[in-house]
Amino acid sequence: MNCGLIIPTLNAGEQFQKLLSQLAAQTLSTKKLIVDSESTDGTSQLAKNFGLEVLTIPRKSFNHGATRQLALEKILPLDVIIFLTQDVLLHDDESLSKLVKIFDADKSVGLSYGRQLPHLNATNEAAILRTFNYPAESQLRSFDDRKLYGIKTAFASNSFAAYRVSALQGVGGFPNNVPLCEDMYVAAKMLIDGWKIFYAADAQVYHSHNYTAAQEFRRYVQIGKFHAQESWIRETFGSAEGAGKKFVLMKLSMLAKKNPLDCVGAIFRDAAKFFGYRLGRLS
C-alpha cells in the first residue's frame, strides 16, 4: 500500500519539531508533503531539514478544502493519503500504521480517522469534548447508520485522518468553496456513494484546543455557514443541534463533579457557540 502524508502549516511553532521527530520514527513509510502558507517562523526550513518536501502557497489563498486538494494532486499517485494538522502529537510509533491498516482489511472503507486525546495542558472542558467525540471503542459506520447516529454518522477530522485515494477522487475530492468542515463534506459524500467510515480508536494522537468564548463564536459562525451552504448534509443525515444539546448536558454534569466553577465559563462558551452557529446559518 503506497501511502502519503500532508500537513498544512502556518507558523507551526516550537511543538512542530517534536511532531517531525515523531514522524521520522513511524513504522509506516510515507511520502510526506508540507503545504505552507508563507510562514515567518522558520516552519518551512525546519520541515526541509527533516527531509520533507514543502509546497509554499500565498497565505491569502489558503482554503481548508482547496489547499488540501492542491496538495493531494501534487503528491499523487498514492493508494492512501493521510492528513494531519500542525498542532497534533503522535501517541506512539505505530499511530499512522494503525490508522491505515483498515484499508487492507476492509475494501469497503473509504475513510479512516483516529482517536484524539487531550494535550497535557487541556482544560477540563476541552478534555471532555475529546472524550465525547473520540470514545475508546472503534466503530464502522455506513450510510444506513444515519438512522441511529444522525449527522454524527458523517463525522471525521482531518487533524488525523486517512483516505482511500480512489474513494476520495470518486466523490470529487475536497471542495474548494467551503469555509471549513471539508472532512465532513467528503465523509458525507462517501457514505452516500456506498463507502464506509472507520473510527480507529487504537490509532491515537494528542490534539485539543482551549478556546475562548470569542474564538468559539467565530468558529461556529463558520460552521453555521457551512451547514447553511451545504444544507443537503442536514437534510440527508439530520440536524447537528441534537448532538450539541446532548454534549452540553453531559459536559456540564461532568464539570460540576470536577470543578463547579468551570461550569460558568462553559456556559458562556456554549452560548457563544449557539449564537455563532445561528448567525452563520443566517449568513
pLDDT value for 150: 92
- Residue 164 makes CB contacts below 8 A (sequence gap 6+) with 79, 80, 103, 109, 110, 111, 195
- Residue 72, pLDDT > 90, answer yes
Instruction: Determine the longest span between alpha carbons in the chain, in angstroms.
Output: 52
List beta partners, residue 36: 9, 56
Distances (CA, A) of 236 to 149, 152, 188, 194: 12, 12, 9, 14
Cβ contact 3:79 at 8 Å: yes
Cell of 167: 474513494
pLDDT digits (tens, 9 = 90+) for 207-220: 999 999 999 999 99
Buried b (16+ CB within 10 A) or exposed e, 17-53: bebbebbeebebebbbbbbbbbbeeebbebbeeeebe
pLDDT digits (tens, 9 = 90+) for 15-63: 999 999 999 999 999 999 999 999 999 999 999 999 999 999 999 999 9
Torsions phi, psi for 178 (to 5 deg): -110, 145
pLDDT value for 255: 77
Long-range contacts of 245-254, Cβ-Cβ distance < 8 Å, separation of 24 or more: 247/129, 247/132, 250/128, 250/132, 251/125, 251/128, 251/129, 251/132, 254/124, 254/128
pLDDT digits (tens, 9 = 90+) for 97-135: 999 999 999 999 999 999 999 999 999 989 988 988 999
d(CA 96, CA 88): 13
The DSSP 8-state label assigned to residue 276 in this structure reads H
148: three-class secondary structure by DSSP: helix
Q: Looking at domain 3-206, does it have CATH number 3.40.630.10?
A: no
Domain boundaries, the chain: 3-206, 213-282
Peptide bond into 77 cis (omega under 30): yes
d(CA 90, CA 82): 13
Alpha helical stretches, state H, 136-261:
146-149, 165-170, 182-192, 213-229, 231-237, 241-258
pLDDT digits (tens, 9 = 90+) for 124-175: 989 988 988 999 999 999 999 999 999 999 999 999 999 999 999 999 999 9
